[in-house]
Amino acid sequence: MKHYRIYINDNTLFIGGSIPKQEKKIQQLETKDFDFQTFYKTISKESGASYMLMDLNPVFLFKKIKKSCELIKAAGGLVKSAKGNYLFIFRNKKWDLPKGKVEKGEKMKEAGLREVEEECGVKILTNDEKLCKTYHVYVLNNKLVLKKTNWYSMTVKGEPKLIPQKEEGITKAVWLAKTDLKPVLKNTYPSIMQVLEAGELL
């Protein structure tokens, strides 16, 4: 059965037919008369909490939430060097992965490749399978926006020098080994944790 995760700041809303296995406590919500806009307002000041909407038809519930927001599409990549290290960026005081909005007429996969190359000054060798998609909600111009990001597995030739795109607020771009991810895991977004999980880095 399909299940979804929507990130709101550091909070996670799970939508599915069963409660996910995780250590954190999950607060179950009433699906009847659930209003996403109201829910967003009540939890926007919360941090690190998990919520669950359990329903036999999670797809219908998710579509309802999607309809109440403006949809923005983005794409990004988990990039591996020939040495087996991974590309991370530091932006807005947090560790992140390169990603950006899909332009008009552009395919998600192409957008992911372009964004990685622009944000880190590298040439992507292969743009492989889709790892996962993440959903993140925030307010833009007084409207609730649901950002859907497709994440792809990518590789580069060798281990090129990285050039962080300063105008995008990226202060650092680095190659990190799987064993050196502690600082990242301590200071990143829940959505990035989902990508690392999909890429088998956790």
Statement: residue 1 has pLDDT above 80: no
Confidence class of residue 21 from pLDDT cuts 50, 70 and 90? confident
Domains of the chain: 4-67 (no CATH), 72-198 (3.90.79.10)
Confidence class of residue 23 from pLDDT cuts 50, 70 and 90? low
- Within 10 Å of residue 199's Cβ, how many Cβ atoms? 18
Average pLDDT, the chain: 95
**What are the beta bridge partners of residue 148?**
73, 135
Model pLDDT for residues 48-77, shown as the tens digit of each residue: 899 999 999 999 999 999 999 999 999 999
Rounded mean pLDDT of 41-51? Answer: 87
Model pLDDT for residues 73-104, shown as the tens digit of each residue: 999 999 999 999 999 999 999 999 999 999 99
Q: What is the model's pLDDT at position 2? A: 82
- C-alpha torsion 169→116→153→65, nearest 10: 60
Q: Which helix (H) or strand (E) holds 127?
A: strand 124-140
Which residues fall within 8 angstroms of residue 38, CB to CB, at 6 or more apart?
none
Put simply, whether the predicted model's pTM sits higher than 0.85 gets the answer yes
Confidence class of residue 47 from pLDDT cuts 50, 70 and 90? confident
Sign of CA dihedral 170, 174, 177, 181: negative
Distance CA 130, CA 85 (A): 19
